[in-house]
Amino acid sequence: MKIHTRLTLTLVLITMIILSACGNNKADLTPTVSVEILQTQAVQTYSAGLTQTALAIPATSTPVPVNTPIPTITLSSGENTPVGPTEASASCLGLVFVEDITIDDNTRIQPGEKFTKTWLVKNSGNCNWESGYQFRHIGGDPLNGVTYTLPQVVSPNSQIEISIEMTAPTTPGSYQSSWKMYDPTTQAFFGESPWVLIVVGDAGTPSPTGTAPTATPTTQTP
């Protein structure tokens, strides 16, 4: 609004100057104002008005955008992460025969005689044998032997002696009895099945009687 007012006043002034120049007969006393000078003055006046108007307007600052880092999202590799203890599989429970402590193979026993068979065995797996695991008869003549219950924990690579009371049959002959270790879920251990092989009576060395397996360590695939 101020700009238009100043421009109007300028134009009125210019018009009055022109009329005064035309109406005055004493041309030699009043200097002549050229059109170029009038235009220059008008432009200067207009420019000054614009400058004052610009100064009167409060300056506003535009915030410069700041680079905002994009959050990084880490994707799971999909690997499984243990959430708690897991029960050992049967394949970690292994037994191997080390040696006969008593009653070597083909030991002669009198008919009906009682004896104690002792094996030295080793924990060949990578899990503990817990107390309560059982050493059971699995083939041949049981020779009146009963299941042996493990009384203690046996750690991997440790050895232990297992002893079972037995009674020889009254009929002469050769007898074999095979045994194996089991966990409480009746899962047989991986590895060997120790046995005892006796000869009852004095007559020669007959082949083992009953349904005993051959005198070769048996193994079980986990």
Q: Where are the beta strands (DSSP E) in the chain?
A: 94-100, 107-109, 114-123, 134-140, 148-149, 159-167, 173-182, 190-191, 195-200, 208-209
d(CA 91, CA 65): 64
d(CA 119, CA 95): 12
Facing residues of 130 across strands? none
Six token digits for residue 91? 């394949």
* Per-residue confidence band for 33, with pLDDT thresholds at 50, 70 and 90: low
Superfamily of domain 91-209: Immunoglobulins (2.60.40.10)
The percentage of the chain sitting over the pLDDT mark of 70, rounded to a whole number, equals 53
pLDDT value, residue 210: 45
* pLDDT higher than 90, residue 62: no
* Per-residue confidence band for 86, with pLDDT thresholds at 50, 70 and 90: very low
User: pLDDT (tens digit, 9 = 90+) per residue, 97-153?
Assistant: 999 999 999 999 999 999 999 999 999 999 999 999 999 999 999 999 999 999 999
* Per-residue confidence band for 22, with pLDDT thresholds at 50, 70 and 90: low
Taken in order 6, 9, 10, 11, the sign of the CA dihedral is: positive
* Per-residue confidence band for 74, with pLDDT thresholds at 50, 70 and 90: very low
Q: What are phi and psi of 105, to 5 degrees?
A: -55, 140
Q: What are phi and psi of 22, to 5 degrees?
A: -75, -35
* 78 dihedral zone (left: phi>0; alpha: psi -120 to 50; beta): left
pLDDT value, residue 178: 97
pLDDT value, residue 177: 97
pTM beyond 0.85: the answer is no
Six token digits for residue 124? 């060949």
User: pLDDT (tens digit, 9 = 90+) per residue, 169-215?
Assistant: 999 999 999 999 999 988 899 889 999 999 999 855 555 554 444 33
d(CA 199, CA 107): 6
Cβ within 8 Å of residue 113, ≥6 positions away? 167, 168
Q: Is 164 helix (H, G, I), strand (E, B) or coil?
A: strand
